[in-house]
Amino acid sequence: MSPADVAREDAVTAALGKLDLPSKARLLMGQDMWSLPALPEIGLRSLVMSDGPIGVRGRYWTADDPSIALPSPTALAATWDPELARRAGRLLAQEARRKEVQVLLAPTVNLHRSPLGGRHFECYSEDPYLTAQIGTGYVRGVQDGGIGTTVKHFVANDAETDRFTVNNVVSPRALRELYLAPFEAIVHDAGTWGVMAAYNKVNGTTMTEHAALLNGVLRGEWGYDGIVVSDWMAARSTVGAITGGLDIAMPGPQGVFGDPLVAAVRNGEVEESLVDDAVRRVLRLAARVGLLDGVDPVVTTPPEDIDGLALAREIASRAVVLIRNQVLEQGPALPIDAAATTVALSGLAARDARILGGGSATVFPASVVSPLDGLTAALPAGALTYSIGAAPSDDLGAAERGFDLRARVFDADGALLGERSLPNGAVNWLGELPEGVSYDALHTVEVSGTFTPQETGQHTFGTKGFGSFRLAVDGTTLFDGNETLTSTDPFEAFFGSTSERGAIELTAGTAVDVSMTHAPLKFADAPLPAIMFTLAHAEPRRDPDELIAEAVEAARVADVAVVVVATTEQVESEGFDRTSLKLPGRQDELVSRVAAVNPRTVVVVNAGSPVEMPWRNEVSAVLLSWFPGQEAGNALADVLLGAVEPGGRLPTTWPAALADCPVSEVTPTDGQLVYREDIFIGYRAWERAGTTPAYPFGHGFGYTTWAYESIDRAETTVTVRLRNTGARRGGEVVQVYLAPVADSVVRPARWLAGFARIEAEPGEVVEAVIRIPDRAFEIWDEDTNAWRRVPGSYEIQAGRSIAERLLTISYDA
Ligand code: BGC
């Protein structure tokens, strides 16, 4: 321990000694949705936590205090660049400090076990090593800035169906080699100050009470000294949680710690020393982030300020994976020569970019650059046309484009209690009501303001939430009725579906009044005051045949056709899994029909996780832009026009069809989800099944070409020499796979054991030096409950994807 660590430990011990049982128990639980109580008697200020992972939302669900929105985690992982992840982390620490947040609820390091996982976009990869490397970079960056991270969700929270109750049955070996591995690496290499316990059970025990994994593995074996916080509302038992190793139950003020914990100690069910251990860890965190008077935080001088928009743009362009780039008569389809090309852009997502995934990962950026905006700015005047072509969905979403809304809260007598601005038609007040409003007094919420349509036609309106609604647009009442609650999911009003309530003819540019009055259902036993409902809207629905025909016509006469296709919030979000990998709506048809008239068709896939692309061999280029964050359009223009090379490589296998996926099940049977595939997920499973995916793990092109010239080895450090054989400077992700020869144990054919990103000028030869960690040669031995090195002959294979291994050298372990 450094002298500063010792000083902090001493201060923590002194502070702990001054607290009585009720204060200690209070400190282990949220005082509201996001914060812990201050204890002025020991000089402790209130600690604030916030989501995470692409930005820092802050305490409120509003756009009043906007956040930088970086690309989503699959995008960050696609950069295969832990240093870039570290810079992202530093920016997030800067954002957290600005918003007076001390702990970021991120990163998410669960694995891509099945492409159906609803929060796939929020996790990094199907590979534990790549996940660990990106996660380590991210955590180092956030903590460089003096802000704590909570690596989540510990552990095996790899799908969303029945996430509060599902029992995931996982072998010890699969747990160690796959699901725990990123957590272990991050604890060890980045020293995270926090871990979040998941909702689900693992092998019969709920994760907030899992003594064997929390106290045994995390603390005991790995020597972790940070806090374990529950996922929100995951803690269910006072005795179970405190004895299982949970330190903080979130949110509050009702919950398993606080008064119930005091009672459990007083009636002899819980040893007070367990409470002390948890409080010590919470105080240690507070000291680390600078909330405990009298001692220095870990970081006294934060790193230099970072330009958030510039970094958002850099990551988004570096993350783009160019998975197909056909060489046509005039050369490769991409990049496009901006000076000499006309471009026909189509796809609703080109105009209404989907920049982030749904759920708790949502943040509200001050501005969004759509692909249409980005290309309009980057191309000469007159070079670009835009047509909608196809919409990912006709579903209603939260009222947004053209709406200017405020919420006002009234009591039962109609007196105004308080008000707040809204980011869009969604009211999501979780434990945080507008100033002056109490949950008891709140009776109705009125969402009102103006709507200035951008399109003439029948606009559809709807509601989401439970209770009574009266909805009027331009003086016409569209709905006056009640919606009753049928589900038991506490977040149903947030994640649930929307009811269509009527349509009205409106004129582009003419503002109309909108008002929705809602008397929400209230629950006496609610763990925290929650008001969640939405005013929903859909633009006029034009004839889909006509939309496609327009786009096809524009594509026919342009030099290049660019089609942006996307998933929606109904497809990729939190609280539910996907049921299909098909692109929603008629987007597949749009691509095929455009490709049929324009031989230079480029498709941009704006999705956080794999989608089926039945047209992929009909088009000349395909690039994955993921959920690219707020600089989406600028980054895309940079890549399409060649200012920046697409730097991404697939962090996860992309299947041709869901049916080909070796592992896809996410639905529990009788409450259990059995991980039958054991250690074979992702490429490990594809190789074993002998099935070829559409695009393999690690795949992706830049704008130059490479010759892999030689490989050498000194012990387990390999040096790969490669030459840039193309005409421009470029970057390459050199991947090293370890393949046992005639294996003595059941193992995958090969696995990722290291990688490095290099850059070179045309003609230049560069070396990638990659050290293979000892762990790559080990398996978890279920008989001895320990790691075991597997001796034997190995091939160390270097290449540009798991399917393109270009150089090999042997090693006897
Ligand atoms: C999510 C967490 C998130 C928390 C707070 C939960 O529903 O699973 O990832 O940090 O909410 O928003």
Measured by CA distance, the residue closest to atom 3 of ligand 1 is 360
Measured by CA distance, the residue closest to atom 8 of ligand 1 is 231
Residue 706 CA to residue 809 CA, distance in Å, equals 19
In this prediction, residue 432 carries a pLDDT of 82
In this prediction, residue 21 carries a pLDDT of 98
Helix (H) or strand (E) holding 552: helix 544-557
51 close to 105: Cβ distance less than 8 angstroms: yes
Amino acid identity, position 122: E
Residue 71 CA to residue 586 CA, distance in Å, equals 26
Say how many Å lie between the CA of residue 220 and the centre of ligand 1: 26
In this prediction, residue 62 carries a pLDDT of 80
- Quick one: which of 461, 409, 140, 124 has its CA closest to 299? 140
DSSP 617: T
* 306 has pLDDT over 90: yes
3-state DSSP call for residue 6?
A: helix
Averaged confidence pLDDT in the chain: 96
Measured by CA distance, the residue closest to atom 10 of ligand 1 is 105
Range from 357-366, 598-607, 652-661, 708-717 carrying the lowest mean pLDDT: 357-366
Residue 375 CA to residue 336 CA, distance in Å, equals 11
DSSP 682: H
Q: Is 408 in the pocket of ligand 1 (CB under 6 A)?
A: no
> Active-site residue 395, yes or no?
no
Residue 761 CA to residue 722 CA, distance in Å, equals 11
In this prediction, residue 431 carries a pLDDT of 80
Say how many Å lie between the CA of residue 158 and the centre of ligand 1: 14
- Quick one: which of 178, 189, 183, 184 has its CA closest to 141? 189
Q: Taken in order 483, 252, 179, 608, is the CA torsion positive or negative? A: positive
In this prediction, residue 61 carries a pLDDT of 81
Q: Is 152 in the pocket of ligand 1 (CB under 6 A)?
A: yes
Q: Is 97 in the pocket of ligand 1 (CB under 6 A)?
A: no
Say how many Å lie between the CA of residue 64 and the centre of ligand 1: 21
Q: Is 105 in the pocket of ligand 1 (CB under 6 A)?
A: yes
pLDDT tier at 60, thresholds 50, 70, 90: confident
CATH architecture under which domain 397-538 falls: Sandwich (2.60)
Q: Is 149 in the pocket of ligand 1 (CB under 6 A)?
A: no
CATH architecture under which domain 315-394+543-652 falls: 3-Layer(aba) Sandwich (3.40)
Say how many Å lie between the CA of residue 253 and the centre of ligand 1: 17
For residues 316-343, average pLDDT: 94
Torsion of CA 312, 317, 321, 322, to 10 degrees: 160
CATH architecture under which domain 704-812 falls: Sandwich (2.60)
- Quick one: which of 93, 145, 170 has its CA closest to 680? 170
Report residue 606: phi and psi, to 5°: -100, 80
Residue 517 CA to residue 778 CA, distance in Å, equals 61
The half-sphere exposure of 201 on its side-chain side, counting CA atoms within 13 A, is 15
For residues 530-559, average pLDDT: 95
For residues 261-279, average pLDDT: 98
* 246 has pLDDT over 90: yes
Q: Is 52 in the pocket of ligand 1 (CB under 6 A)?
A: yes
Residue with tokens 């003439």: 456
Three-state SS annotation for 619-676: CCEEEECCCCCCCHHHHHHHHHCCCCCCCCCCCCCECCCHHHCCCCCCCCECCEEECC
Say how many Å lie between the CA of residue 575 and the centre of ligand 1: 10
pLDDT tier at 786, thresholds 50, 70, 90: very high
| Closest ligand 1 atom, residue 491 Cα | 7
Say how many Å lie between the CA of residue 468 and the centre of ligand 1: 28
Residue 404 CA to residue 807 CA, distance in Å, equals 59
Say how many Å lie between the CA of residue 438 and the centre of ligand 1: 24
* 495 has pLDDT over 70: no
Range from 219-228, 514-523, 556-565, 752-761 carrying the lowest mean pLDDT: 514-523
CB-based contacts of 2, cutoff 8 Å, min separation 6: none
Q: Where are the domains of the chain?
A: 3-289, 315-394+543-652, 397-538, 704-812
Residue 806 CA to residue 800 CA, distance in Å, equals 8
Say how many Å lie between the CA of residue 104 and the centre of ligand 1: 11
Q: Is 57 in the pocket of ligand 1 (CB under 6 A)?
A: no
Q: Is 231 in the pocket of ligand 1 (CB under 6 A)?
A: yes
pLDDT tier at 494, thresholds 50, 70, 90: low
Torsion of CA 123, 128, 132, 134, to 10 degrees: -50
Q: Is 232 in the pocket of ligand 1 (CB under 6 A)?
A: yes
E-state strands within 521-633: 530-538, 560-566, 601-606, 621-624
Measured by CA distance, the residue closest to atom 12 of ligand 1 is 360
| Closest ligand 1 atom, residue 198 Cα | 8
In this prediction, residue 493 carries a pLDDT of 61
CB-based contacts of 279, cutoff 8 Å, min separation 6: 16, 19, 24, 27, 28
In this prediction, residue 488 carries a pLDDT of 60
pLDDT in tens, 498-531: 899 999 999 999 999 999 999 998 877 776 788 9
Say how many Å lie between the CA of residue 588 and the centre of ligand 1: 33
Measured by CA distance, the residue closest to atom 9 of ligand 1 is 360
Say how many Å lie between the CA of residue 233 and the centre of ligand 1: 9
pLDDT in tens, 84-117: 999 999 999 999 999 999 999 999 999 999 999 9
Q: Which two tokens stand for residue 345?
A: 């852009």
pLDDT tier at 279, thresholds 50, 70, 90: very high
CB-based contacts of 392, cutoff 8 Å, min separation 6: 348, 349, 354, 565, 566, 567, 568, 583, 584, 585, 587
Say how many Å lie between the CA of residue 229 and the centre of ligand 1: 11
Residue 64 CA to residue 365 CA, distance in Å, equals 10
pLDDT in tens, 9-41: 999 999 999 999 999 999 999 999 999 999 999
In this prediction, residue 765 carries a pLDDT of 98
Residue 564 CA to residue 637 CA, distance in Å, equals 13
Pairing relation of β-strands 103-104 and 49-50?
A: parallel
Measured by CA distance, the residue closest to atom 7 of ligand 1 is 232
The half-sphere exposure of 338 on its side-chain side, counting CA atoms within 13 A, is 15
Q: Which residues pair with 718 in a beta bridge?
A: 713, 770
* Test site for ligand 1: of 51, 230, 495, most ligand atoms within 8 A of the Cβ: 51
Say how many Å lie between the CA of residue 214 and the centre of ligand 1: 19
| Closest ligand 1 atom, residue 199 Cα | 8
In this prediction, residue 314 carries a pLDDT of 98
DSSP string for residues in 474-528: TTEEEEEEEE------TTHHHHSPPEEEEEEEE-TT--EEEEEEEEE---TT-SS
pLDDT in tens, 565-596: 999 988 888 889 999 999 999 999 999 999 99
325 close to 334: Cβ distance less than 8 angstroms: yes
Exposure of 441 by Cβ count < 10 A (0-12 exposed, 13-18 middle, 19+ buried)? middle
- Quick one: which of 770, 731, 767 has its CA closest to 318? 731
For residues 616-635, average pLDDT: 98
The fold of the 3-289 domain, in CATH, is TIM Barrel (3.20.20)
| Closest ligand 1 atom, residue 157 Cα | 8
Pairing relation of β-strands 194-197 and 227-230?
A: parallel
Tell me what percent of the residues of the chain surpass a pLDDT of 90: 90
Residue 672 CA to residue 167 CA, distance in Å, equals 5
Spot the catalytic one: 51, 81, 231, 395.
231
In this prediction, residue 487 carries a pLDDT of 66
Measured by CA distance, the residue closest to atom 11 of ligand 1 is 232
Q: Is 360 in the pocket of ligand 1 (CB under 6 A)?
A: yes
H helical segments located in 59-214: 73-78, 82-98, 128-144, 172-174, 181-190, 211
Exposure of 784 by Cβ count < 10 A (0-12 exposed, 13-18 middle, 19+ buried)? exposed
For residues 229-252, average pLDDT: 97
Q: Is 51 in the pocket of ligand 1 (CB under 6 A)?
A: yes
DSSP 589: H
632 close to 625: Cβ distance less than 8 angstroms: yes
